[in-house]
Structure 1
Amino acid sequence: MLTITLFIILAFVVARFVIGAVQRYLEGRARGRAFSRMLNQGRLDAGVYADALWSATTSGARKVRARVSNEQRNAIMQARLEMREDFLNDTKPGAYQYVIIFLIASVLGLVIETVYTFIVFGILESRVGLVWGPFSPLYGVGAVLLTMVLWPLRKEKVWKIFLLSAVLGSLLEQTAGWSMETFAHLQSWTYLGLPDHITQWIAWRFVAMWGILGVVWCRVIMPELIFRIGEPTSRKQVVLVTLLAAFIALDVVMTIACFWRAGQRLEGMPPRNGFEVYVDTHFDDRFMAETFENMRIGEDIPPAAK
């Protein structure tokens, strides 16, 4: 997990650099959604920049604003930072933001983990965590948990954020690993082979990595992500996110049922009702093995290398 955590942080930093480069390009030409919002909110006075900001050149059939000066770009960037800070100070993340964060983190976490295992180990396998869709819910839950707890503490000292993130991440790993083993005879990882392991699912080196990841999330990723998600501005957005939340909830319930039945089948227990018959028919052992290739049902994973 040490290398993959660093890989995740690197991926977020690269993504943030790319997004920032696009943002700077748009601001350098007085364009983009953020620029329009600043004008609409009166944070920028168009008259001040009339000599260059609104000068236009013809490009084909449309007009393109000329490149603004460095002074004007700095003014636009400063106005955007102030707009973001005002929004964050007046905002408390709710269900709408949490659903989107869960979806983004679940998908990106799956993609990053899949790419990582292929590059480092040459293994290309299904690493999904739910029966429907490209989701790895542990990443989604981790992102939501860090956001919920760290949001009011995002301006606290780094060491406080580090310690709290380390505890939260370790508790999440312990809870997830213990629950899978206890209720579904399922294992996805183990740290028993590591000299610094605390339990089967917690090791000191990963406690530290959770702390680092929490600091990066709290100080770099979370504020910008919440600002870009924003508040719903139409009923369609609310309806769409509600439907997505309902789908994810159903996906989680069905996944739990599938693993529950997989464990029961391993013990030779036949289905007791129509729903369990449905699960055994459509999500049999072959489906579970092909879909969750990195998980082991009813068997121990070899201890991790030191």
Structure 2
Amino acid sequence: MTFSKAVFLYVLGGLVGTVWETLLNLFRGRGFVFCNGSIFTPFNFVYGVGAVVIILLLKNRKKWWQVFLIGSLGGGLVEYILSFLEEAVLGTRSWNYSHKFLNINGRTTVPYMIFWGLLCLAVIYIVYRPLDNWLETFPKKAMKIAAIVLFCVIAIDWMVTVSALIRYSARAEGTAAATFIGEWIDRVFDDAFMKRRFPAMKIN
């Protein structure tokens, strides 16, 4: 997989994830919650990373049960690791499945892992081949430039989002900003903003 394709897969996977999670909240009666999980871009990072990992691990697998098994385990592992890292680094949790059936430390569940496996089957056998062929129709130079621009935007978004989340957690603990950057973050991305943007997030 080329760098350009990886970036576009992240973008497409992230967009689909945002739409899916937003519709899921509406269906569950929670109202409109824009579930992008970041400050600037509409790309849900869990689904974006998941899409890239799925394709890297499974695009050359021939047997459907291998795709399902590896997809289930891989999807659950990605979800678990991202949840663990978020809590360890940021002191926050965007999802907690402790109350759900067959959960694994509240970070993922067996039913969700089965969902990841089924999703992988759909991605590999229905979505990926046509998508890969479609991406091949674009001029490689233009695609590379677009991928670099998108990557820079995503990287900036990640840096700002992580910084804002760190300060959000620190403010909850009563820790004042130690630098002018921290003070700027506190002014621009205050608690009211963060609660609107990340309504499901819990601070430990």
TM-score category (smaller protein): over 0.9
Measured after TM superposition, the shift of residue 122 of structure 1 is 5.0
Choose which of 94, 115, 130 in structure 2 pairs with 1:209. 115
- TM-score, normalised by the number of residues in structure 1: 0.63
Kept after mapping to 1: 8 A contact 2:68/2:117: yes
Q: Percent identity of the aligned residues? A: 24
The separation in 2 between residues aligned to 1:284 and 1:220, in whole angstroms, is 43
Runs of 4+ in 1 over 6 A off after TM superposition: none
Aligned twin of 2:124: 218
Give the structure-2-normalised TM-score.
0.93
Matches within 5 A, 1:282-297: 282-297=188-203
2:11 corresponding residue in structure 1: 103
SS at match of 1:152: coil
Q: What is the identity, as a one-letter code, of the residue corresponding to 1:198?
A: I
Q: CA deviation at 1:238?
A: 2.2
Q: Unmatched 5+ residue regions in structure 1? A: 1-92, 299-306
- Distance in 1 (CA, whole Å) between partners of 2:86 and 2:189 is 18
Query: Hey, what's the Cα distance between the residues in 2 that align with 1:234 and 1:157?
Result: 31
CA-CA distance at 1:128 after TM superposition: 2.1
CA shift digits 1:168-222 (9 cap, x unpaired): 1011111111112222221222222234122211222122111111111111111
Q: Give me the whole-angstrom Cα distance separating, in 1, the residues matched to 2:13 and 2:112.
A: 19
1:1-306 correspondence runs (5 A): 93-121=1-29, 123-153=31-61, 156-230=62-136, 232-233=138-139, 235-298=141-204
Q: Could you say what secondary structure the match of 1:268 adopts? A: coil
> Which residue identity lines up with residue 35 of structure 2 in the other structure?
R
Once the two structures are superposed, what CA deviation does each residue of 1:251-282 show, in whole Å capped at 9, x if it has no partner?
11111111111111111111111221221121
RMSD: 1.6
The CA distance in 1 between the partners of 2:137 and 2:157, in whole Å, is 26
| Higher-RCO chain (CA-CA 8 Å, sequence separation at least 6) | 2
For residues 140 and 90 of structure 2, the distance between their equivalents in structure 1, rounded to whole angstroms, comes to: 42
Q: Contact 1:261–1:276 (CA<8 Å) still a contact in 2?
A: yes
Which residues of structure 2 form unaligned runs of 5+? none
- In 1, distance between residues paired with 2:142 and 2:90? 38
